[in-house]
Structure 1
Amino acid sequence: MRLGFIGCGNMGGAMVSGILKKQLLASEDMIASALHEESRKALREKFGITVTSDNSEVAAFSDILILAVKPQFYAEVIHEIREIVQPDTLVVSIAPGKTHQWLEEQFGRPVKTVRCMPNTPAMIGAGITGVAPGEQVTEKETAQLLRLLSALGETEIVPERLMDVVGSVSGCSPAYVFMFIEAMADAAVADGMPRAQAYHFAAQAVLGSAEMVLKTGRHPGELKDMVCSPGGTTIEGLSVLEEKGMRSAVIDALRACTRKSKGI
């Protein structure tokens, strides 16, 4: 199996790194294109993969082709490679809002397309990727791709109609979690804790809380209630968060992401 990346920034680099670490493919089985020589040199030195400035070279090489450029460049890139991509090539999009129908319209013919939405924790192998295979993609091809994506963390098949929701609930949300961690650390610093220690306590608390949700299978509300002693400090803090509208702010933010992804 030969894997190619058109564009290889943070997410593409995370995937290459994870695949090599897990020995899912060898470096000679991968190729990536990058616009700038500095980026190509860095990829070559870090991973030992073939690099090029020619997107067509990547398309011709690849059994699985990952389009990892920014969404606004998708039409231009597809126009460049559409005559080169073979009928059995798996074309993987990681761009929000680019539907299977839109992708096939750009290629001008039926293509084996898969929509994926990873998130930035994939850079440390702790991500979750939503995967929506197109109608042309076989179960075997899907399984091959899922195996490669496992290098980024967890994967889950979702219907295409939910891909915009995946983008909001897991793709965009790390930014909001980082903001939450930063705000908690700021409060700790205001109350006298050194900055580095404050980040450590806040981040570990978020990490441990997330693990509790995943490993206990309990409802988040139940786990929240376990922390709230009658008349205690936690319920006092929760009352402030409710007063400030934390729940509605988070819901509104994620739904705004979904609408943006859908182009509404």
Structure 2
Amino acid sequence: MSSSASPQDTNATDAIAFVGGGNMARSLIGGLVARGRDPASIQVAEPNESLRAALVADFGVIAHADNAEAVTTAHTWVFAVKPQVMKSVCQALAPIAQSRRPMILSIAAGITGEQLDRWLGGGLAVVRSMPNTPALLGAGATGLHANARVTKSQRHVAESLMQATGITEWIDDERLMHAVTALSGSGPAYVFLLAEAMQAAGEAQGLPPESARKLALQTILGAARMLTESGEPAAVLRQRVTSPNGTTQAALESFEAGGFRALVDQAVSAATRRGRELSAAND
């Protein structure tokens, strides 16, 4: 293998272009700058003037209203636009993509790597990612899939970029990215729903709303920390806090009798199925 870098090879000092400057792009940019990346190496295309101004003021990046101006000198393109407009955005940039041969990183739900590559003219290194909203706090979870053209160094760049907002996990089979979307991409909403239900149940037992809210939220936070910091499986932690014939056992038996596990399985299956439908609808 030649020691000289091809147009698709990229490293930490190469320019990165963000196509779209919304919340998720902002969190990634903030994470990159916080970890020492030169803001001058980050180009952002965002049609909203106030968002552009905020990105420049807060991070010192270079912002453009036009997508083509942002990507012209970049070796890595990060697509952070809505899935519904991804096709038209990519097709407009296809001539530049074929000339520049960048690595493509998408954070759009439901858009496959094959679709991105085809809309950009074909033959490109494409990484598909699925982050979630806790990335805005640096606590995200992102699934990543690379097509066969992505080099080892490009995988490192993609991984480092997404790790600016949390953990990453590579998925070899792209078909499983719909399951990633259903599990971790949509997953924060499941926890939010649980928090709503716990607070409402506490209120139903007579607790003041604010007390029920604080107790429910801190319980979820504390349990999440135990899961991530103890290194123990969830089943082991559950068993440790479940005394025989105690209050926790009574509650868990009620969950099981109500089909809790089956309901979670049905919910994740429904989200996975919807992801496939959205992918087909955007083709």
What is the TM-score with the length of structure 2 in the denominator? 0.87
Kindly indicate whether residue 74 of structure 2 is the aligned counterpart of residue 62 of structure 1. yes
Within the candidate set 6, 19, 23, 1:10 is matched to: 23
Q: Show the counterpart of 1:47.
A: 59
Secondary structure of 1:43 counterpart: helix
Distance in 2 (alpha carbons) for counterparts of 1:136 and 1:227: 48
Match of 2:89 in 1: 77
The alpha carbon displacement at 1:184 in A equals 1.1
Partner in structure 1 of residue 272 of structure 2:
258
- What is the SS of the residue equivalent to 1:103? helix
1:106 partnered with 2:126: no
Contact 1:184–1:202 (CA<8 Å) still a contact in 2? yes
Listed as ranges, the gaps of 5+ residues in structure 1 are none
Kept in 2, the 8 Å contact 1:78–1:107? The answer is: yes
Deviation, structure 1 residue 250: 1.2
Q: Letter of the aligned partner of 2:259 in structure 1? A: G
Percent of aligned pairs sharing the same letter? 35
Aligned counterparts, 1:157-176, within 5 A: 157-159=170-172, 160-176=174-190
Specify the SS of the correspondent of 1:98.
coil
Looking at structure 2, the residues matched to 20 and 193 of structure 1 have their Cα atoms a distance apart, in angstroms, of 44
Task: Please state how far the C-alpha of 1:87 moved relative to its aligned partner.
Answer: 4.6
- The 4+ residue runs of structure 1 with deviation greater than 4 A are none
- Decide whether the 8 Å contact of 1:65 with 1:92 is kept in 2: yes
User: Is 2:187 the partner of 1:184?
Assistant: no
Deviation at 1:144, TM superposition (A): 1.8
Equivalent pair of 1:9/1:68 in contact (CA under 8 Å)? yes
- Distance in 2, Cα, partners of 1:63 & 1:202: 46
Query: 8 Å contact 1:87–1:112 — kept in the other structure?
Result: no
Specify the SS of the correspondent of 2:215: helix
Instruction: Give the match for residue 120 of structure 1.
Output: 133
Q: CA deviation at 1:93?
A: 1.0
- Structure 1 residue 192 displacement after superposition: 4.2
Work out whether 1:212 is the aligned partner of 2:226.
yes
Deviation at 1:72, TM superposition (A): 0.8
Distance 2:105 2:79 in 1: 6
Query: Structure 1 length normalisation: TM-score?
Result: 0.93
Aligned residues: 263
- The amino acid across from 2:223 in the alignment is S
SS at match of 1:77: helix
In the alignment, the residues of structure 1 paired with residue 96 and residue 209 of structure 2 have an alpha-carbon distance, to the nearest angstrom, of 53
Separation in 2, partners of 1:196, 1:155:
35
CA distance in 1, matches of 2:22, 2:204: 37
